[in-house]
Amino acid sequence: MVRKGFVHFVPFCGLTYYPQIQMSSVEPERLLLHYRIINKVGEGGMGQVYRAEDTKLGRYVALKLLAPEATRDQTAKRRLLSEAQSASVLNHPNIVTIHAIEEADGIDFIVMEFVEGETLTSYLANNGALPLASLLELGIQIADALDTAHSVGLIHRDIKPANILITPKGVAKVADFGLAKMVRLSTDDIDREALTLAANLTGPGIVLGTAAYMSPEQTRGENLDVRSEIFSLGSVIYEAATRTRAFSGPSVLAIMHAIATVDPPPPSKLRPELPREFDLIIERALAKDKNQRYASAREIADALRNMRASITGTWSGIPIVYDPDLIDRTLPSFVGREPEMKKLESLLQQAIEGTGRIVFITGEPGIGKTSLSDEFLRRARKHHAGILISRGRCVEQYGTGEAYLPFLDAMGELLQGPGRERIAAIMRTYAPTWCMELPTAFASTGALEKLQQETIGATKERMMREMGDALGMLASASPIVLLLEDLHWADPSSVDLLRHLCQRIGTQRLLIAGTFRPEDVERSGHPLKSYKAEMRAHNLCDEIALDSWNREHISEYLDVTFSPNDFPADLTALIHEKTEGHPLFAANLLQYLGERGDLAKTNGRWSLVRPLSEMDLVAPESVRAMISKKIDALEEEERRTLQYASVEGTEFLSSVTAKLLGVDEIDLEESLARISKGHRLIETVGEEDLPDGTLATRYRFSH
């Protein structure tokens, strides 16, 4: 029985339970040594969990009791002692702390940290799948906890949602080390205990939820290492992302068969808003061959952190459980982009009428490229029946290493959607080389072998020509919109294909929209830089460059997000001043004010808890982290230049900074131009005539 607001533990004896034991409760107010029992908060198998008061230290603790009827069972006592000994060596904020193991009145029990909250199982049942940011934070916390356990040679062996506790502040706690084992075996040894556990899998009373998160080698009773834990963690994150188990079945044997032979569908197929990079992380974690998985919990934690940084600017600490009255922690509400939306809708209408186009949506991280793109695709689906829409994503870790990744991603999505038979037939006829790169869609008997024979000696030029032919043929039947995201990570072959398509798209019912960060393209010398300039020079593409919100946009965002409200007009001006209208910064600052309690909902209306003059507005950690990441990308000399310039204040003159640095002013101007274009940390205000008759350029710091 899971009770929200209280700690909950699952059976400490793991896979096996003992139906012959009748559990008996301990009455409230009973003393076990100096622990006063308050109430029972959970039970399972042979263990009972109670909330208690430690009368010596004046704190609440959780007592995990071995039922009196079970004290004669040496296996149960051994598991209780094993859990206490295993977890007591660990000290980590994401692991339930063990205080002591005690015995009183013939009862063995563990004294542990009392955790308010609920299990991940309960949370998913009550709230549904986690938002992406919360999902990444959850995975990082659990992986960090496991990494700490693994560092002392301890593997948990029973990672599942029921053993993950979530506090109201969003902290994940790994519980129940009853099946944990110190890894002391050589690679050639046989884990006899693992064999025993595996043999018991088909016995009566087995909990299906436990088997569903086991690794393939765990179901076979093989010697386990940390990579088995990675598989279980991948299964947990998969379920948190989709609210669906990666492996399921009507019986334990069916689940074991699925674990050994079935690859679950990518999470993005169940939740299209999830990025391709997330699919790749889960795919590697759930590899059947343990040698293909992440080698350690730290590796998967780093992969999740890198993904979090790429989508949120190193955002950290997003609560998993949060008050729904607080502002949305995903994307800012869609405000302030109607002119850009009208431009996109106009280009789509032209494409529908037979004049296709390539359009780039550009801007710095957090400016709203994804928000605009998502809303555009939503409106396109709503207003244009029969249109084909697909999206492909470039990935920082993989994009430059796999040719044509965003196009393969987009075409793969089309081949799994409505009308896939017609799309597959056209691809088979006009783009056989591409079919070889999409084997799951063309895996019928003999098909791949025939395609392989037909495509021997295929060149890059042939692949580009085939894709142009296939898209043209598809567009002749239905208009197509392709969204290619994060092109600043695109491989050179994808950029070459874009250049090829822009020569043909003008007579096709095809619209290709691509998003990228200009500073990343500029700084890295990405081939997209020169190709885009060439396409713009020949009027073969459009660009929609997103700027920050103005005060009216922030006012609209406040009204949409906090409705209804009686905020003073000065709040809009203050938010704009502190964030300079950057959408992500503004949203995060308002979120911070809500979490700090400065914004509150009373009698159905939002209002300020205290006057603006008394509010100390500091930049949230997410904002500081994003700016810090930009500064870290500077060269040492560039960083030194900005340090000296900052002495003058928010705005500075090039001539003054040159004198402070002792460098030539023309050389400094060139350096400042590179910083402005490649990092977007400063911007030009204008030129000024100084009293001595010289001309200087005035700059200001962005953000």
577 burial via Cβ count (<10 Å: 0-12, 13-18, 19+): exposed
Contact 430, 437 (CB under 8 A): no
Strands 599-602, 605-608: pairing is antiparallel
Distance (Å, whole) CA 362 – CA 274:
21
Distance (Å, whole) CA 692 – CA 689:
8
Instruction: Say what angle helices 583-596 and 569-579 make with each other, to 10 degrees.
Output: 120
Q: In what order do the strands lie in the sheet with 388-393?
A: 388-393, 480-485, 510-516, 357-362, 541-545
Residue with tokens 């992986």: 143
36 burial via Cβ count (<10 Å: 0-12, 13-18, 19+): middle
Give the torsion through C-alpha atoms of 530, 536, 540, 546, to 10 deg: 100
Task: At 215, list the tokens.
Answer: 């690794």
Residue 614: count other Cβ atoms within 10 Å of its Cβ: 9
Contact 86, 180 (CB under 8 A): yes
Q: What's the Cα-to-Cα distance from 471 to each of 96, 119, 126, 389, 513, rounded to whole Å?
A: 55, 48, 44, 12, 15
Strands 59-66, 164-166: pairing is unpaired
Cβ-based neighbours of 596, under 8 Å, separated by 6 or more: none
Strands (E), 246-370: 357-362
Concatenated DSSP letters of 174-205 = E---TT-EE----TT---HHHHHHHHGGGSTT
The H or E element spanning position 431 is none
Residue 128: count other Cβ atoms within 10 Å of its Cβ: 9
- What backbone phi and psi angles, to 5 degrees, belong to 637? -70, -35
- What backbone phi and psi angles, to 5 degrees, belong to 88? -70, -20
Distance (Å, whole) CA 267 – CA 278:
8
Strands 541-545, 357-362: pairing is parallel
CA-based nearest residue to 651, from 621, 679, 685: 685
CA-based nearest residue to 588, from 550, 546, 543, 620: 620
User: What length does the chain have?
Assistant: 703
Catalytic residue among 147, 158, 409, 520: 158
Residue 41: count other Cβ atoms within 10 Å of its Cβ: 23
Can 158 be counted among the known catalytic residues? yes
Strands 181-182, 107-113: pairing is unpaired
Cβ-based neighbours of 201, under 8 Å, separated by 6 or more: 15, 211, 219, 252, 256
Please compute, for residue 311, the number of CA atoms within 13 A of its CA located in the half-sphere on the CB side: 28
Which positions are annotated as active-site residues? Answer: 158
